[in-house]
Amino acid sequence: MSNGISHLFIPGPTNVPDVVRRAMNVPMRDHRAPDFPELTLPLFEDLKEIFANETGQVFLFASSGTGAWEAAISNTLNRGDRVLMSRFGQFSHLWVDMAERLGLDVACVDVEWGKGVPVEDYERHLAEDPSIRAVFATHNETATGVTSDIAAVRRAMDAQGSDALLFVDGVSSIASVDFQQEAWGVDLAVTGSQKGLMLPAGLSILGVSAKALEASARAGMERCYFDFADMVATNKSGYFPYTPPVPLLAGLRVALDLLFAEGLPQVFARHHRLAEGIRRGVEALGLKLCAMGPQWYSDTVSAIRVPDDIDSAEVCRIGFQRYRTSFGAGLSKVAGKVFRIGHLGDLNEVMCLSALASAEMSLADAGAKVELGAGVAAAQAYYRAALSERESAV
């Protein structure tokens, strides 16, 4: 068949650039050979730059992002520890579920889906309950397209004199939007390879602060595969406690090179621009985002509410079958109500226009009263203006 490409607009896995795909097609090499650290040591250092983590460490585990959630908890906490969490989408829900299953005593604030981390509620809980050992925050809730203010969470903790550890899920934010592990006082920052890092799933990446490393020496929860101590001992000289996924590491090298060549501030600006064009398009179609206000807008994923009489699963089905476009489905509480456009990773303006064009056709075919072309036109106008403004600023 020579009928062009399929279009991937799910919020991860994202498109893998050709140069990264080719870089992963490598002969296997000896991961205990003397030359292996030449690959790994610079990766460890460069990942610290991605996390903006100067004084801590970044660990790579052969798992999906969920593994780093578990690594973060099991290395630094004890069964029965009191922790503060919030739930406002499928991924924050799953982290709460994991924390409970691992035996933590979870104080969970339930928030309306479409809003994010409830900083004021957190501050109240911290004031009332000095036994809280850890505070959890989902930086970007991928199910609802909601980004939260992590610096504000840290400020609330500081205002209450809390010495709890701050855990942040940055799976769909890190390497796409600004993330400052050290400046925001994040002790454990989680991501995965298949989103902003433009790789297949299979690496979970955990930024750990010096304070969290110290905590791991005392923490009593059982762990083995994910034990920081084994990682620290072997990573020091560029090795792993077990067999690392060498092709993913080779791909990571090139993906990081791409990000640094573009420049992280430029990567973040591009994600903002692409997202803003999608948002303008959604508005022009007369639709609303799941995110309940600009302070929650995500620059990596937009969850779009469909009209009440339309099933968003049908929009996704039509997009996939008729227009070869994959949109993210509505998950759990918002199943049938939203579909998602992932706009992160290896992506540009015209790709986003194609996402909007395909979404318009899929919506119209599913019975929604949208004006074909209105979303695309609004995004085109925005992209033209934003790109010419960027050129004149150079």
Q: Is position 192 an interface residue for ligand PLP (rule: CB under 6 A)? A: yes
Q: How far is CA 387 from CA 26, 269, 273, 381, 384, in A?
A: 37, 11, 9, 10, 5
Name the H helices within the chain. Answer: 18-23, 36-51, 65-76, 90-101, 119-128, 150-159, 210-218, 228-235, 246-262, 264-284, 312-323, 349-365, 374-393
Question: And the tokens for 4?
Answer: 């062009």
Exactly one of 91, 136, 228, 240 binds ligand PLP (CB under 6 A); that residue is: 91
377 is a contact residue toward ligand PLP (CB under 6 A): no
Residue with Cβ nearer ligand PLP (238 or 342): 342
Q: Other C-beta atoms within 10 Å of 235: how many? A: 20
Which ranges of 150-237 would DSSP assign to H, the alpha helix?
Answer: 150-159, 210-218, 228-235
Binding mask 16-55 for ligand PLP (x = CB under 6 A): ----------------------------------------
Stretch that binds ligand PLP, among 53-61, 169-177, 315-323, 370-378 (CB under 6 A): 169-177
- The two three-digit tokens of residue 130, written as one number: 């000095």
- Write the interaction track for ligand PLP spanning residues 60-79; mark x where CB under 6 A is met and - where it is not: ----xxx-------------
Site string for ligand PLP, 115-154 (x = CB under 6 A): -----------------------x-x-x------------
SS (H, E, C) 275-341: HHHHHHHHHHCCCEECCCCHHHECCCEEEEECCCCCCHHHHHHHHHHHHCEEEECCCHHHCCCEEEE
- According to the annotation, is 32 in a ligand binding site? no
* Site mask for ligand PLP (CB under 6 A), range 201-240, x = bound: x---------------------------------------
- Beta carbon nearer to ligand PLP, 335 or 374: 335
Nearer to ligand PLP, 138 or 162 (CB): 138
Annotated binding-site residues for substrate read: 340
| Chain residues that interact with ligand PLP, rule: CB under 6 A | 12, 64-66, 91, 138, 140, 142, 169, 171-172, 192, 201
